[in-house]
Structure 1
Amino acid sequence: MGNPYRRRSRRAGVHLAPHHGGDSLARGGAALSLEAPYHTLDPDCVLEAVTACGLWPDGRLLALNSYENRVWQVGIEDAAPVIAKFYRPHRWSDAAILEEHAFAQELAADDIPMVAPLVFGGRTLLHHAGFRYALTPRRGGRAPSLESAEQLEWLGRLIARIHAVGTRQPFQHRGRIDRATLIEQPMHAVLASSLLPASLHAAYRAAAERVDQAVATRLEAVGPVRSLRLHGDCHPGNVLWTDHGPHFVDLDDARMGPAVQDLWMLANDDHGMQALLEGYQQMREFDFAELALVPALRAMRQLHYVGWIAARWHDPAFPIAFPFAAEPRWWEQHITDLHELDEAL
């Protein structure tokens, strides 16, 4: 099975498909469906949405690597390009998106290098043709070197500063790192999907339930830990490194949870975690009991990743981006991986 912790490099783009009905949001003769939520989001629609903000696109469009949402780089006349992010219909409430935006703005106001949404007419959450979207500045960069202790310490310091802001108040409308969200819901999505071969249903259910119980046991053994507002998906693809240092992007999965959630995906090994924590502790105390949560968090992420693919398979972009998920041998390997995760826990 492919690595569930790294984004795939294939560009997603927008895929046009016929409307299949289902749950929808009517808008001016078109509809946003659960089956093909982006079938009306063509390049003209993207340009119209950016123009509605008072900007003047120069016609240059680049579809960026995103599957849950659709993200475009849009060239602007006599100005730097902007990034237009169109949120997946039906996934978030407006209140949850606005909390994401407010968190990004709060971090940026504290001089933390987080790319925050642009404001138009006092609003960051914009609407056009039935879609909700936001514009951000384009910020380039490369992935950090996870072999560099210096870069990892730098990231540790910045993550500690993010967490210092994150402790000021809780999210009210966004999710949490918990078994219901990251195990139970994805497991149900897999079992309800036609992707999982019928012959493997019992084996998958048994393996997933064993991992769920092992995660529950580990969480109980660790005991209560402090929950705070997190980046939530702090992997190398969401950190862009420049000659002036790193900046963070994509608070799509910002939620409440333990601090170690924003650290473990950047640590390839114990030495990497040590370097991250050396930087982190320069800015904020770290509860070392949370390190025992990492195997549970890893297992939860892997189950969630597979459930995410199953739940989104109706989106025309997903069979193109993840063709391996239609192969029985991939599911056989996933079940084997679940047994290994259970043993590791």
Structure 2
Amino acid sequence: MTTTLDSGPSDDLGVAGARRRGAELERSIRERPGTFRALTGDRPTGRLHLGHYFGTLQNRVRLQNMGVEMMVLVADYQVLTDRDVADRLTERVEDLVLDYLAAGLDPGRATIFTHSAVPALNQLLLPFLSLVSVAELGRNPTVKDEIAHSRQSAVSGLMFTYPVHQAADILFCKAGIVPVGQDQLPHLEVARVIARRFNNRYGTPSNPVFPEPEALLSAAPLLLGTDGAKMSKSRGNAVALAATADETARLIRGAKTDAERHITYDPIARPEVSSLVLLAALCLGRDPHEVAAGIGGRGAAALKALVTDAINDHFAPLRARRAELAGDRGHVRRVLRDGNARAAAVAAATLAEVRTAMGVLY
């Protein structure tokens, strides 16, 4: 059984509303974690980095360990628009699963699966597309941003319909909660709108087919990359979870700082220095102001040395687990095979319910 809170008006899913309802969700999860199902995932565009870990992976493992049923999607169909990634898709998918396992996701408690292996999930895309207009998709700010950053001369239909595909990802398993960053709220609102419209058209007030999923906004702070911009796989400014100690040291040595020698934690006035301080604090489990005060006037070199040691010490166990797991790619494939089978069974049951509600069982 899955649980979701009573859904309010759709405009309550703005950032302020999502944070307020997220606090309610956290209380409910602590009280009865086993009644919740969460859907989360990533596109396999490269190895995960420290921003992913502190932004999402830690929270997924936390929810899993609390007893929430986790569905973790490797969105391989959503990278078909990127030829460079698609040409090495098997390797990218397996690398992503290795990062998941090394970070602590347990395939005995979390279902890890791929788009391409769950055909019933993808069949939901067609009826869902009938419930939204082209204009609504065109107004979606996240779609606009993805198109702007795609660097492609023409936009494929797949990229344009990402929000509806993500709605299928969420609704196929009737996930009640979706851990997201605030930039993904427009996508989640599409899923809520589709659930509501499907229920109005094909369900009954007493027996809706889909719950309206709730956002669980991440409280994780933004980590900047080594160039001072947002940490990103595509920008080459990130420290990968799988990086070696030497690679980590080289990347941190090259990180952007500023000309002021005395180290302080001031994210507005000194974003690059403060991001490094924050990274050390997250790894050390300390307050960033305390970390900055400990360095004081010893300058950026001392800060970078501290950050490097903190990262390497904190992630040494994860990197060791990942290296061990990477030696048995067969295990990674078994994890996916088992997860795909579980997800396919859930999707088949939902598709049968959808077809029954629509009256298209022949």
The two structures share one fold, judged by TM-score above 0.5:
no
With normalisation by structure 2, the TM-score equals 0.23
Q: TM-score, normalised by structure 1?
A: 0.24
Q: By percentage of residues, which structure has more helix?
A: 2
Please identify which structure carries the higher strand content: 1
